[in-house]
Amino acid sequence: MANYQQLFKSLGIDKMITEDAGLPVYTPIDGSLIASVKQTSVDQIPEIITNSQIAFNHWRNVPAPKRGELVRLLGEELRAAKDDLGKLVSLEVGKILSEGLGEVQEMIDICDLAVGQSRQLYGLTIASERPGHRMAESWLPLGVVGIISAFNFPVAVWSWNATLALVCGNSLVWKPSEKTPLTALACKVIFERALAKFKDAPDNLLQVVIGDRLIGEKLVESKSVALISSTGSTRMGRAVAPKVAERFGRCLLELGGNNAMVVAPTADLDLAVRAITFSAIGTTGQRCTSLRRLIVHESIVDDLLPRLIQAYKSAPVGNPLEEGILVGPLIDSPARENMQTALSSAKKQGGVIHGGETITEGIPEGGCYVRPALVEMPSQTAIVKQETFAPILYVLPYKELNEAIAMHNDVPQGLSSCIFTNDVREAETFLSVTGSDCGIANVNIGPSGAEIGGAFGGEKETGGGRESGSDAWKSYMRRQTSTVNYSSELPLAQGVKFDF
């Protein structure tokens, strides 16, 4: 086992590392075992949920601005731990260090947003048709919130949910990916440091459960978990949603993406190349918002494609902790196998492949390193409509904008999208009701790298959920409409008469 004890000690998780048969944790950097952690027993889940319900009963009575103070303290603790936690993210996920640090910064940013939101949990006053009556709408705490997060953003997506759920008055049970338990345990320690300064929070406000799919299923099936927020594949969403619906619970799903960029004839190609490379090969193509389809006007394909091929060839691939590296490893060997299977299918469907090969020279032994792939496709075939969680970018030509938009929308997923154009009519068309059908639509910026101020999520097989900014906080609350009669009469609505 490699020695990362100093990092683990700095983050306060060194005592959580076990030498016995716990859950093994491997770093994708070289495939080595870096830790083992104790797993949560399935039999423990009912008690954990009960404790979370008790915590909720206390926390919902704490005034929302005071709840925001806890989140403010969490943000301060994250600022202090940013370098170490960012390095742990890179170690556990294989992201380049700047992306690991950026993920922690995203946590800090959502803390700031949630603190402000704690004083703005606004309801409405609604005009009543009955004299002497006041009608209003309020938002109230929901209950226990279960958060199931994916490996690729092991801490940021948790924080999107956790910070808003906390200021809204809820308690939390977090099941991280079994591939990334260390970052979750580190976040729990950081949260407990904030709790120690806050001094007025119940026990078990945040509980972390470590384990495989069976642990998640117990959360999903529990009637005492008011909301399941689940991030992952569409396949996972298909398993989660019916079980939550069966018990009439709430589900917030953030699932797959098959994100496209339309590059129009008037586009600034220098700008587009930079956006394409980050969006397509950043995080080694393992973002739900990664660019996977490039729909290029036929008049500029011959200019754009060689520039991209050169950029892909020159992008430094290697140990993500080393300075200057832009492309780290895939998470594991199954991810590499999925990538090669997709490239094989693309070739059979008429694709011309640039890159995509496994890299072994000059990189850490044991890691799954690949050259990002550009694939020229004659049309949007079956493989193009599938999301492969790897750095594959399919290049498709188009003639007219309406053709490009139709191709763009003709996939099952609907997360993020963009167009590069200097034609205002094209830009506005893309953003209109007849344009992109995604939850996120950008102009002259890539589909990846969303800010926390906007609601994040998508349509169709992406699941329809919204997290982070805007009014996403409402997902973590229940709506109550109330009417107060302050008159001495009892008129009925709609003019109904029911007199004795």
Which residues participate in catalysis according to the annotation? Answer: 254, 288
State the DSSP string of 317-380.
Answer: BS-TTSTT--B--BSSHHHHHHHHHHHHHHHHTT-EEEE--B--TTS-TTSB-B--EEEE-SS-
Q: Write out the H or E segment, with its range, that includes residue 135.
A: strand 133-141
For residue 169, report the phi and psi dihedrals to the nearest 5 degrees.
Answer: 100, 20
* SS3 label, residue 439: coil
- Separation of alpha carbons 101 and 196, rounded Å: 25
In terms of Cβ atoms closer than 10 Å to its own Cβ (0-12, 13-18, 19+), residue 185 is: buried
Residues with Cβ within 8 Å of 432's Cβ and at least 6 positions away in sequence, in order, are none
DSSP type of residue 4? -
Structure tokens at 52: 């979370």
- Separation of alpha carbons 215 and 187, rounded Å: 19
Spatial contact of 448 and 289, defined as CB atoms under 8 Å apart: yes
Residues with Cβ within 8 Å of 79's Cβ and at least 6 positions away in sequence, in order, are 108
